[in-house]
Structure 1
Amino acid sequence: LAADLRYAFRVLVRTPSFLIAVVAVLAIGIGANTAIFSIVNAVLLRPLPFDEPGRLVRLFHIPPQSTFPGLKRFSVSPANFYDWKRDARLFERIAIYRFRQFALTGGSNAESVVAGAVGADFFEVVRGRPELGRLFLSEEDAPGRGHVAILSDGPNAEARWRAVHDRRRHAGELFGDVVGRVGSRPVGAARVHRRGARSPREP
């Protein structure tokens, strides 16, 4: 085996172009396998960070092809969601959600943040429990009552919220009341009064 390895090394050294090709092929193969495994691990192997993830399903509206040719599915409209919530018997609980960008103001500069607009039942569906305080109330699903935010334990979430809250408080403005915390690290949840805050029921 040692003799074979020495012979292979001598052949590669004598033909550097072949050596470069071999190294490039190996690098591409290793990189591709690593990328594919990362995707498969995140999508298929790693469970969702919720209790009993196998019982969670995502529902879509399938439009009629005669009216919407080529469109395979729609996001669920609020009207359909409330019909499904009223009539569905196969599901223990149904909640609506979507992600969108908001403008977080109150400091010297506005900041764009990504947030999930969810119904009051969302945390019941994923069985999320607050680390401190409370989650959303059913009456906060009503139009005009959904100006409430719950912060996760994402990077810089607490520091960002606290900085804006402190600036508004020192300026004598009512910014909000802390209502709860979620996640593994201490982060706040606050009632917000700002432009762009919408109820999960609003389109």
Structure 2
Amino acid sequence: MNDLRFALRQLTKSPGFTLVAVLTLALGIGATTAIFSVINGLMLKALPYGEPERLVALSDRFDEKGMTKVPLAPPGFRDWSAHNSVFEGMAAFRNGGFNLVEGDLPQRLRALKVSAGFFDLLRARPLLGRGFHAGEDSDGSTHVVVISHGFWQRHFGGRPEAVGRTLRLDGQSYEVVGVMPPSFRFGGADLDLWVPLVFSGEDLADDQRHAHSLSAVARLKPGVTLAQAAAGMKDLSLRIGEKYPEMKGWTANVVPLHDEVLDRKGVG
């Protein structure tokens, strides 16, 4: 207490020093606040999904050959999705593009092809309409599309009647079933639309186990840790390798989706 009184007396006797001290403290607090704001923007706002701490990114790896992050093949994704014991759900996705044919000149649109359960897995609710129903990623199903907020504004003028309208994409008719909110950015800020990722029988054939073309995201079951998930997927990969000798040595990368987002942004 005596030290505090002495410090206060010294500050009172030296108003110039007091001003410098206060300004220094204010600048320090301001800098800390600014740094926190940047970190908050990168770390906390990067994943605007329900319970993002339970979301992980999945990829293949083959350590003996130094291959540490390899896209999945459709048969491998099918096996992981069907036989894992650590995830509440999994969804695959890959980049795509379409020509929107309206008028004289086609417009090139950027798209992401996703599993039917993609939006439910992320717990991302459309602003209008709905996401994809189970089975809409089956071969031969009706063509449907969910559009981004930006495309909705540009192409439909932000009108609610956009849901139910038809887009002519690569010569095929797609029904607009949903519009995502502006905060939803999975696949990039300039993405125009999402369509179901459809696997043909040929895509899922065993001779396609090295057709590495997919990214994947999964949601941990409640109570399952990242280490437990990695161990469970390692065990599943060993069993797959026993059944398919060409897959021996391959295993799974399981990383927080948050880390994958920052890695792709070049942060850290």
Tell me the TM-score normalised to structure 2 length.
0.46
Distance 1:158 1:90 in 2: 40
Does 1 or 2 have the higher relative contact order (CA < 8 Å, sep 6+)? 2
Q: Give the match's secondary structure for 2:88.
A: coil
Return the letter of the residue paired with 2:144: V
Return the letter of the residue paired with 1:182: M
Structure 1 residue 134 displacement after superposition: 2.5
Q: Give the match's secondary structure for 1:85.
A: helix
When residues 110 and 82 of structure 1 are mapped into structure 2, their CA distance, relative to the original with a 3 A threshold, is: same
Structure 1 residue 152 displacement after superposition: 1.7
Partner of 1:141: 137
Q: CA-to-partner distance for each residue in 1:125-178, whole Å, 9 max, x for gaps? A: 101223332221222111232632101212x4343257xx7997xxxx995544
Partner of 1:104: 100
Contact 1:150 1:180 in 2 (8 A): yes
Return the letter of the residue paired with 2:62: P
- The percent identity for this pair of structures is 31
The correspondence for 2:197, drawn from 187, 190, 200, is 200
**Unaligned 5+ runs, structure 2:** 1-33, 158-164, 184-193, 204-268
Contact 1:146 1:198 in 2 (8 A): no
Q: CA-to-partner distance for each residue in 1:40-89, whole Å, 9 max, x for gaps? A: 55543434111111111001111353xxx342221111111110111111
Distance 2:78 2:172 in 1: 34
Partner of 1:114: 110
Structure 1 residue 123 displacement after superposition: 0.9
Q: Give the match's secondary structure for 2:102.
A: coil
The correspondence for 1:159, drawn from 154, 162, 179, is 154
- Structure with higher strand content: 2
Structure 1 residue 112 displacement after superposition: 1.9
Q: What CA RMSD, in Å, does the superposition of the two structures yield over aligned residues?
A: 4.1
Contact 2:132 2:196 in 1 (8 A): no
Partner of 1:46: 45
Distance 2:116 2:167 in 1: 29
Number of aligned residues: 157
Structure 1 residue 110 displacement after superposition: 1.7
- Runs of 4+ with deviation above 6 angstroms: 165-168
Partner of 2:216: none
Distance 2:134 2:66 in 1: 38
Distance 2:71 2:83 in 1: 19
Structure 1 residue 93 displacement after superposition: 1.0
Distance 2:198 2:62 in 1: 21
Partner of 1:179: 177
Tell me the TM-score normalised to structure 1 length.
0.59
Q: Give the match's secondary structure for 1:101.
A: strand
Contact 2:60 2:72 in 1 (8 A): yes
When residues 199 and 70 of structure 1 are mapped into structure 2, their CA distance, relative to the original with a 3 A threshold, is: same
When residues 146 and 161 of structure 1 are mapped into structure 2, their CA distance, relative to the original with a 3 A threshold, is: farther
